[in-house]
Each structure stands twice: as structure tokens, then as C-alpha cells.
């Protein structure tokens, strides 16, 4: 694939963060918006023209990570995949073969649904929200082929003139337990608040969390995620919050808001702002920040992470033209890079002698308990362990392994990380 690779350096004490980017070679720069990937070969990007629904370009797709094809007949409201085969561009437009072909579904009840959520592991039961200001909750029990009205969210300000706008729906794993984030306005008293509803009976009834009605620091507009544990979740509104009790209480974990993504577990997550991207790898205790100050006219618009490290971000370069020039960047090292400590100089040192080759060679010394390390691939998955019981020596690794980028983390004591590359 013809592409541009960029390396950004950001000093964050005591780590040096190395971030590698690749600009995808999509044969268009017209209002690229939604992006989704099933794997690094199967990627979808939707071009949504800013001038209106009738001006969209269509869906760009690749199934080999290199060759892009435009399907101009497809108009999307989102890109959502339940699994590797079942996906949606709208609630009435779905695929059952991983995006190779798309079929019309429920063109009556599904037409106005703007957000959907299937509980993890479910391919038949899903829930949906209708257009802005409509508090109707929709449900499917046949994988999205048919949608029916399930319930209506209760009033937030009974007895007053109000409007409630559902924003996002999330059913993490249990088909009975779900959340809907909302923006509420009381016209009689001039109040605006953000909060969320929760159901424990499959959407039949909904209970409002009232913290958003009295806590001006609370917000829910930018998303909600329960990636792994039904008790541990995150919400982004006026700040970024975390719950450890299934949404009963929320604590602020970061004084920043933006689109939210915890792709695999409740440890590694991202918050996307217009000019900044923030990442935590410890469940919100600490955060790293990447800024695009060197891209003066560029803002981030949408992102999707395939796993903890491989992600895709759409970027718009400027406004004020007939269409918005845009591009999509891909990262394989967790956006902000893998943290690499500066080389150690004390006697119990270890270093990479051969960092690029068919085999990697390490040298270590003055380690009374030997040298022990874990090896991770570019996706963050541990693929091997190294154990040498001598106090000093050399270690060779990589023979028979797939080519690519790997990270070796010393677990003998220093926890330092070395980046290596296997080539043919």
C-alpha cells in the first residue's frame, strides 16, 4: 500500500513515547467520517458530505488492507458490527457476510433508528434509539431484520415543559441491563442537564440516574462504555468518569471530555478531543496526551480501535470549502506509542545488540537472579517469554517468528522496554 509513515516524539517523564502513524491510501479525501475495522485487512470508511444526505460519496472498503473500493450506493448513519459477519450502516441496511454485500432490512421501523447496541455475545437481540428528541426505545430479536417499539423513556421533569434527547445506547453483556445517555432541557425553568437511564429488565422500564440533575460537573454526552466487566464502566461528559458498581456511583478519573473508547478491557482506553487524544493503560489512574499542534488546521473527528494498540482515526484538515478535505490515520502502537524508558546506565544493565534482523540479540550483566522478560507483538498480545538464569550473558530470540514489530519488557526488576523488528 502506498502510504505515508510518520513518527512523533513526545517527552513524558520518565518515558519517551514513540508514536508511529500511517496515513491510509484511500483514493478520496471528501468528508471521510465513520471508520470501522474487523481486522487490519478489512476496513470500512464512510464519506459523508457536509452539504447534506443527498451529497454523500459512499462507503470505502478494503478486504486486503491495500486496495480500496467505493460503493457509492451505500448511505450510512453509523458503522456498527455485532461480530465478524453481522454489521449495520443503518438499522435498515445490514450485512451478514462481513461487509462484502449489504441488504435492506426493516425499512419501516428501522428507518429512523440512529444508534444501536447488541449485548456482547448476542447476534439476535439488539436495541436501538430513534432520531434526536424521540424517546422511543426499539428492539430486535432476529438480528436486525425487524425492529419493534419496546418502551418510552419516562419524563425527566414531570409537570414541566421539557425535551429529552437520547444520545447513546449501551447494553454491555446482559440483555436485561442497559444504559441510555440523555440530554434534558426544562423550558419552564431554563435548565439543561445531562444524565442517563438504566434498565434491569431488558428495556421494559427505565430509571433515571439523578446525579446529572444536581451535579453541574456531571455529564454523559460523549459516550458510555462497559468493555469487560458489567460493574466497571466509563462515561464521558463534562469530564471522564468511572463506576465500579454498575453505575450506582461515578468518580471523576480525568478532567477532560471527548469521544470514548475502551476496545478490549477496562484498563486501556482512549478519549478523543478535537485537537488532543488521551490514553490510559491503568484504568484511568494516569493518562498520557497526544496533541496535534503541528497540524494547525487539523482536527480529530472519529476513531475506532480494533484492540488496545491498533486504531484508526479520521481527521479533517480545514473548513470553508465545498467539501471538507480529510484523511484517515492508522496506529499500531497504541496511538501514543509504547513507553520506552531511556537506556539504563547502572551496572545491572541490559541492552539490545541487534534490534533489526532475522534474530534479535540481547546482552545483560550483573543480574543475580538472571534475565527474565516478556515479548509482546504490535497489538499488545504477549507471544513469548525469555528466561536465563545466569547472572550475565547474551540472549537470541525471533527464529521462526513472524516478521514485524515486537516489544521486549524486562520483568527482572527494571521493567524497561525494548522495541525490536524481525525481518526476512
The CATH number for 399's domain is: 2.60.40.1930
DSSP, res 263: -
Q: Which of 257, 285, 303 is the last residue of a domain?
A: 257
Q: Give 404 or 89, the one with higher predicted confidence.
A: 89
Q: Give 378 or 347, the one with higher predicted confidence.
A: 378
Q: Give 75 or 51, the one with higher predicted confidence.
A: 75
The pLDDT value recorded for residue 373 is: 85
The CATH number for 223's domain is: 2.120.10.10
Question: Closest Cα to residue 194, out of 237, 132, 139, 148?
Answer: 237
Q: Looking at the structure, do residues 248 and 120 belong to the same domain, yes or no?
A: yes
Read off the pLDDT of residues 54-99 as tens digits, 9 standing for 90 and up.
556 899 999 999 999 999 888 888 999 999 999 999 999 999 999 9
> For the ranges 12-21, 29-38, 64-73, 317-326, which has the lowest average pLDDT?
12-21
Q: Which of 226, 257, 288 is the last residue of a domain?
A: 257
The pLDDT value recorded for residue 13 is: 29
Q: Is the pLDDT of residue 179 over 90?
A: yes
The pLDDT value recorded for residue 346 is: 36
The pLDDT value recorded for residue 343 is: 38
- Please check whether residue 105 is in contact with residue 93, taking contact to mean a CB–CB distance below 8 angstroms: yes
Residue 278 lies inside a defined structural domain of this protein: no
Residue 359 lies inside a defined structural domain of this protein: yes
Read off the pLDDT of residues 255-293 as tens digits, 9 standing for 90 and up.
888 889 999 889 999 998 888 888 888 899 998 887 655
Determine the average pLDDT of the residues in 32-36: 91
The H-assigned helical ranges of 239-360 are none
Question: Closest Cα to residue 58, out of 38, 39, 32, 97?
Answer: 32
Q: Looking at the structure, do residues 235 and 120 belong to the same domain, yes or no?
A: yes
Per-residue exposure over 208-227, b if at least 16 CB sit within 10 Å of its own CB, e if not: bbebbbeeeebbbbbbbbbb
Residue 333 lies inside a defined structural domain of this protein: no
Q: Looking at the structure, do residues 249 and 350 belong to the same domain, yes or no?
A: no
Q: Is the pLDDT of residue 247 over 70?
A: yes
212 phi and psi angles, rounded to 5 deg: -70, -15
Cα–Cα distances (Å) from 164 to 135, 203, 233, in that order, read: 7, 17, 23
The pLDDT value recorded for residue 14 is: 33
Q: Is the pLDDT of residue 111 over 60?
A: yes
The pLDDT value recorded for residue 318 is: 62
Determine the average pLDDT of the residues in 175-204: 92
Euclidean distance between CA atoms 194 and 116, whole angstroms: 20
Read off the pLDDT of residues 304-337 as tens digits, 9 standing for 90 and up.
999 888 899 998 876 545 456 788 988 877 655 5
pTM for the model: 0.74
pLDDT category of residue 296 using cuts at 50, 70 and 90: low
Q: Looking at the structure, do residues 119 and 232 belong to the same domain, yes or no?
A: yes
User: Which residues in 232-378 belong to E strands, given as ranges?
Assistant: 233-236, 240-243, 251-254, 259-261, 269-272, 276-280, 288-291, 299-305, 311-316, 326-331, 338-340, 350-354, 356-357, 360-364, 371-377
Euclidean distance between CA atoms 218 and 236, whole angstroms: 9
Mean pLDDT of the chain: 83
Q: Looking at the structure, do residues 234 and 352 belong to the same domain, yes or no?
A: no
Determine the average pLDDT of the residues in 397-423: 78
Cis peptide before 14 (omega within 30 of 0): yes
Q: Which of 199, 223, 257 is the last residue of a domain?
A: 257
DSSP, res 87: E
Q: Looking at the structure, do residues 120 and 234 belong to the same domain, yes or no?
A: yes
Number of domains observed in the structure of the chain = 2
Q: Is the pLDDT of residue 15 over 80?
A: no
Neighbouring CB atoms inside 10 A of 251's CB total: 9
The pLDDT value recorded for residue 416 is: 67
Euclidean distance between CA atoms 127 and 148, whole angstroms: 10
Residue 381 lies inside a defined structural domain of this protein: yes
Q: Looking at the structure, do residues 244 and 120 belong to the same domain, yes or no?
A: yes
Q: Looking at the structure, do residues 245 and 382 belong to the same domain, yes or no?
A: no
pLDDT category of residue 415 using cuts at 50, 70 and 90: low
The pLDDT value recorded for residue 133 is: 84
Q: Give 418 or 94, the one with higher predicted confidence.
A: 94
Read off the pLDDT of residues 193-228 as tens digits, 9 standing for 90 and up.
888 999 999 999 999 987 766 667 777 777 899 998
Residue 379 lies inside a defined structural domain of this protein: yes
The pLDDT value recorded for residue 405 is: 82
- Please check whether residue 277 is in contact with residue 287, taking contact to mean a CB–CB distance below 8 angstroms: no
DSSP, res 339: E
The pLDDT value recorded for residue 202 is: 97
Question: Closest Cα to residue 334, out of 314, 313, 311, 315?
Answer: 311
Residue 335 lies inside a defined structural domain of this protein: no
Percentage, residues of the chain above pLDDT 70: 83
Residue 300 lies inside a defined structural domain of this protein: no
Q: Looking at the structure, do residues 251 and 351 belong to the same domain, yes or no?
A: no
- Please check whether residue 163 is in contact with residue 204, taking contact to mean a CB–CB distance below 8 angstroms: no
Q: Cα–chain-centroid distance for residue 271?
A: 8
CA torsion 119-133-255-232 (nearest 10°) is -20
Q: Looking at the structure, do residues 228 and 355 belong to the same domain, yes or no?
A: no
Enclosing domain of residue 386: 344-422
Q: Looking at the structure, do residues 110 and 252 belong to the same domain, yes or no?
A: yes
Neighbouring CB atoms inside 10 A of 14's CB total: 8
Amino acid at each position: 500500500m502506498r502510504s505515508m509513515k510518520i513518527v512523533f516524539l513526545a517527552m513524558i517523564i520518565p518515558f519517551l513515547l514513540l508514536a508511529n502513524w500511517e496515513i491510509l491510501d484511500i483514493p478520496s479525501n471528501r468528508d471521510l467520517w465513520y471508520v470501522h475495522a474487523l481486522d487490519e485487512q478489512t476496513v470500512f470508511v464512510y464519506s459523508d458530505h457536509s452539504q447534506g444526505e443527498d451529497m454523500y460519496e459512499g462507503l470505502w472498503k478494503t478486504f486486503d488492507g491495500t486496495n480500496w473500493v467505493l460503493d457509492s450506493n451505500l448511505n450510512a448513519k453509523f458503522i456498527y458490527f455485532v461480530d465478524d459477519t453481522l454489521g449495520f450502516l443503518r438499522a435498515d441496511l445490514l450485512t451478514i457476510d462481513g461487509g462484502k454485500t449489504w441488504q435492506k432490512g426493516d425499512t419501516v421501523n428501522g428507518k429512523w433508528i440512529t444508534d444501536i447496541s447488541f449485548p456482547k455475545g448476542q447476534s439476535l437481540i439488539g436495541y436501538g434509539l430513534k432520531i434526536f428528541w424521540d424517546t422511543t426505545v426499539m428492539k430486535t430479536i432476529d438480528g436486525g431484520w425487524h425492529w419493534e417499539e419496546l418502551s418510552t423513556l419516562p419524563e425527566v421533569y414531570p409537570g414541566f415543559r421539557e425535551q429529552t434527547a437520547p444520545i447513546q445506547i449501551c447494553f454491555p453483556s446482559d440483555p436485561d441491563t442497559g444504559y441510555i445517555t440523555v440530554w434534558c432541557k426544562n423550558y419552564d425553568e431554563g435548565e439543561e442537564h445531562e444524565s442517563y437511564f438504566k434498565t434491569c429488565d431488558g428495556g421494559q422500564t427505565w430509571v433515571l440516574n439523578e446525579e446529572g440533575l444536581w451535579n453541574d460537573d456531571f455529564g454523559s454526552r460523549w459516550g458510555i462504555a462497559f468493555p469487560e466487566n458489567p460493574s466497571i464502566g466509563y462515561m464521558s461528559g463534562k469530564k471522564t468518569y468511572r463506576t465500579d458498581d454498575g453505575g450506582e456511583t461515578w468518580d471523576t478519573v480525568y478532567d477532560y471530555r471527548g469521544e470514548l473508547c475502551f476496545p478490549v478491557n477496562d484498563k486501556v482506553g482512549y478519549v478523543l478531543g478535537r485537537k488532543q487524544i488521551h490514553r490510559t493503560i491503568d484504568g484511568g489512574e494516569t493518562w498520557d496526551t497526544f496533541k496535534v499542534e503541528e497540524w494547525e488546521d487539523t482536527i480529530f473527528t472519529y476513531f475506532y480501535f480494533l484492540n488496545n494498540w491498533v486504531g484508526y482515526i479520521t481527521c479533517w484538515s480545514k473548513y470553508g470549502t465545498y467539501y471538507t478535505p480529510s484523511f484517515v490515520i492508522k496506529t499500531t502502537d497504541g496511538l501514543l506509542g509504547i513507553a520506552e524508558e531511556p537506556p539504563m546506565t547502572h551496572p545491572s544493565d541490559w541492552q539490545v545488540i541487534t534490534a533489526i534482523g532475522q534474530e534479535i540479540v540481547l546482552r545483560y550483566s550483573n543480574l543475580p537472579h538472571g534475565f527474565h522478560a516478556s515479548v509482546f507483538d504490535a497489538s499488545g498480545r504477549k507471544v513469548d517469554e525469555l528466561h536465563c538464569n545466569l547472572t550475565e550473558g547474551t540472549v537470541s530470540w525471533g527464529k521462526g517468528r513472524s516478521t514485524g514489530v515486537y516489544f521486549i519488557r524486562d520483568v527482572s526488576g527494571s521493567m524497561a522496554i525494548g522495541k525490536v523488528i524481525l525481518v526476512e
